[in-house]
Amino acid sequence: MNAEVLLTLTACTIASVTDLRARRIPNWLTGGFALFAIFIGMFLDRSFLSMVEGGFLGFCALFLPYVLRGMGAGDVKLLSAVGLAVGISGMAYVLVGMAVTGAFLALVIHANIPRVSAGLGNPIATDPLLRESFAPSKPSIPYAFAITGGVLLWCVTDFTR
């Protein structure tokens, strides 16, 4: 296991734990990870352009969900830093793994949410004021786990090449 893989897995694991506990990913983690990824990438003779393209692709992949309030800024910064670490060639694996893991997390979380029935006999469901007051809050998905799932797919494919 090289330093690049170890750094990426460590940063994603720490991000997943903090995202699960506090629903946020600290800036010191994403910023430090991004700087170390660039530093290590230069020593591994990785193209600087490849690192920047990977970081930009990671940013673009989650920026629209962030603008639409479906994603936190920490998730966007973490995926950008992952893109710097894996480069543009590794981002395809990360994005596919992230999408599959994220879909699985969404299914698991949404399957456990109690639903208010919309039957005619339910006064909460029929009165608009009560319906808004008692509407279930939007569930929060710790998306760093999905990003970590994408990184794991990248690791597996990187070792099999």
pLDDT tens profile 47-77? 999 999 999 999 999 999 999 988 899 999 9
Instruction: Name the H helices within the chain.
Output: 3-22, 27-43, 48-67, 73-111, 123-126, 128-133, 144-160
Q: How confident is the model at residue 138 (pLDDT cuts 50, 70, 90)?
A: low
Asked if residue 87 lies in contact with residue 41, where contact means CB atoms within 8 angstroms, the answer is yes
Q: What pLDDT does residue 11 have?
A: 96
pLDDT mean over 16-20: 94
CA 94 to chain centre: 10
Split into its structural domains, the chain has a count of 1
Confidence of residue 12 (pLDDT cuts 50, 70, 90): very high
Supply 53's token pair: 């393209």
Reply yes or no on whether the pLDDT at 128 is more than 70.
Answer: no
Q: Which domain holds residue 132?
A: 3-160
Q: Residue 144: name the closest of 19, 11, 4, 6 by CA.
A: 19
Task: Determine the pLDDT at residue 119.
Answer: 45
pLDDT for res 42: 87
Q: Is the pLDDT of residue 7 over 80?
A: yes
Integer Rg of the chain from CA: 19
